[in-house]
Structure 1
Amino acid sequence: MHGLVVQRSLCRVSGRGVAPKRGIKRIMTVRATTDAATPKPKPKAPQQMLVYSPPHPLIKHWLAILRSEYTPSPMFRSACSELGRLLIYEAVREFLPTMEQQVQTPLGAVADATLVDPSRPVKVIPILRAGLVLLEQSSQVIPFQETYHVGYVRDPATLQATSYLNKLPPQLSPDDLFLITDPMLATGGTIVKVVDDIVSRGGRPENVRVVAVVVAPPALKKLADRYPGLKVYTAMIDEQVDERGYIVPGLGDAGDRAYGTPHH
């Protein structure tokens, strides 16, 4: 059965919503929807979507700065960039391809060395606008990367996302590695479409990492049902999405706040 695992989080996500679990800081399994009427062979290694919420004090600090309505735009953008660097560090910990070599030290000795493989740059995909801010310090933790911008606008009435920019290559390799950044995963419509685009061009969902500041159960449920095996890294799982499609308590409109755009 497909599912979702939340690691080091204080919430359990299911099809019925979020149930806070006090004191739970380990791994919790969440099952995605399956067709119970159709018998399926028992899988040897069931895939599960993983959601990581690292319990780092700096991640909590920058999240608090981002949540405050009194944080001015320049500080909001700086905090978002710093939080992006920390979350990306966690996301690529066991993700970057490496190669073994030897280097000569200043003392004339030879030492074994592990280096990031430059032949397999990570394809980073910021979802415009605010996804760009999370990537401002990504070069500090991803030595070799290629950037492909995608842009989506959400209809305020239907909450459906429509693409207005897509710079992804027409053909991708199953071995390509992808990092998608978007400050908020609320209803899940946009992030699912981006992963759909990757898969339709030849990429594999298990090679996708998603970095977000805050996420909500509707987006996690939609991703878990469609793409078990995908991994999400976030500062916090918030409990709900309001009728406008905003995460509560959330951050407000991250794009407007990052770029000083008046929100109407």
Structure 2
Amino acid sequence: MIKTFGGAVLLGTTLNVNVVVSLPFSSQISFSSASRRTVVSVRSHVTMEDKPVSDSRMLVYVPPHPLIKHWVSVLRNEQTPSPIFRNAMAELGRLLMYEASRDWLPTVSGEIQSPMGVASVEFIDPREPVAVIPILRAGLALAEHASSILPATITYHLGMSRDEETLQPTVYLNKLPKKFAEGSKVFLVDPMLATGGTIVAALSLLKERGLGNKQIKVISACAAPPALQKLSEQFPGLHVYTGIIDPTVNDKGFIIPGLGDAGDRSYGT
């Protein structure tokens, strides 16, 4: 069961998932007021609290931006043709990465000469590229505009398929480095967080290569409680950015109402 309250998403207790709704500011504001982001923390029972969110909790961000709602709506429409669906996925990814990169990217400060005088400046540090890892193939569309948002990026491809009967993931392409550099920051891009099998397997591969939970941000178009509960239990401190949280997953592993098969719809297959 999912309820909405002032733009925040509340997951019901039937899945033994608790959602703590908070706002990422030093002071809280009313739920009836406009907020920059909605923060959802997944735990073991339902509660709401005003105190700061613990770093050990997994956080799920559902940014209440009208453009995000627009592109999610385009993706939901079964009449949306593949080229427009793929473009909508790319635009949604751009917005979610913008939100996810806030206060997270490495920067370098200095001074430059402007036409009118000396100015203090701050640039994204190109010596510390942020890695973008789309999970093929559907993740390619969601990550398409990463380079337009992030000035310094490196892309690693990870191909995973899901067995239609068992719903278990299999890796068919792995271009990850053997070891990530210390302090690396990674966007892991997977449009559909349904049962959680694929994203958990992908995160495990990143952990094996030296990344901590707080070095990774997951970008998704649509998420469901089964995946979020698995992530909360296995990856404390992880941050997930998604366009929408839907209430359930069917016996074939598809999110309901969801978007359908994101890979097939993106590439017309």
Name the amino acid aligned to 2:58: M
- What's the offset of the Cα at 1:172? 1.5
Which ranges of structure 1 fall in alignment gaps of 5 or more residues?
1-6, 34-44
Does the alignment pair 1:69 with 2:81? no
1:112 to 120, 143, 147: 120
Distance 1:89 1:259 in 2: 25
Distance 1:114 1:50 in 2: 28
Q: Are the counterparts in 1 of residues 18 and 43 from structure 2 also a CA contact under 8 Å?
A: no
CA contact (8 A) 2:18 2:41 kept: no
Equivalenced residue count is 242
CA contact (8 A) 2:19 2:43 kept: no
Q: Deviation per CA, 1:65-92: give whole Å up to 9, x if none.
A: 0000000011101111111100110010
Contact 1:211/1:233 (<8 A) preserved: yes
| Residue 182 (structure 1) aligned with residue 190 (structure 2) | yes
Q: Partner amino acid for 2:115? A: P
**Alignment partner for residue 246 of structure 2, among 238, 253, 258?**
238
1:106: Cα distance to partner?
Answer: 1.5
- The yes-or-no answer on 1:229 pairing with 2:227 is no
- Name the structure 2 match of 1:90: 99
Cα deviation, 1:24-60, whole Å, max 9, x if unaligned, reads 6865543259xxxxxxxxxxx6500000000000100
Residues 8-27 of structure 1 aligned to structure 2 (within 5 Å): 9-12=8-11, 16=15, 27=39
Alignment of 1:51 onto 2:60:
yes
Q: In structure 2, the residue corresponding to 1:48 is in which secondary structure?
A: coil
Partners of 2:217 and 2:241 within 8 A in 1: yes
- Map residues 215-226 of structure 1 onto 2, 5 A cutoff: 215-226=223-234
- The structure-2 alpha-carbon separation of the partners of 1:90 and 1:46, relative to structure 1 and needing over 3 Å to count, comes to closer
CA distance in 2, matches of 1:226, 1:19: 15
Query: Identity of aligned pairs, percent?
Result: 50
Matches within 5 A, 1:25-174: 27=39, 29-32=41-44, 47-107=56-116, 109-174=117-182
| Separation of aligned partners in 2, 1:133 and 1:120 | 24
Change (3 A) 1:177 1:29: closer
Residues 126 and 149, structure 1, Cα contact 8 Å, conserved in 2: yes
Q: Give per-residue Cα distances to partners, 1:184-242, cap 9 Å, x unaligned.
A: 00011111111111111111111100110000001000000000100000110000000
Whole-angstrom distance in 2 between the partners of 1:207 and 1:193: 17
Shift of 1:97: 0.7
Q: 1:18 offset after TM fit, Å?
A: 6.9
- Which residue of structure 2 lines up, in the alignment, with residue 4 of structure 1? none
Query: TM-score normalised to the size of structure 2?
Result: 0.84
Distance 1:176 1:228 in 2: 18
Partner of 2:27: none
Match of 1:42 in 2: none
Tell me, in whole angstroms, the C-alpha distance in 1 between the residues paired with 2:249 and 2:198: 15
Gaps of 5+ in 2: 1-5, 21-29, 33-37, 46-53
RMSD: 2.3
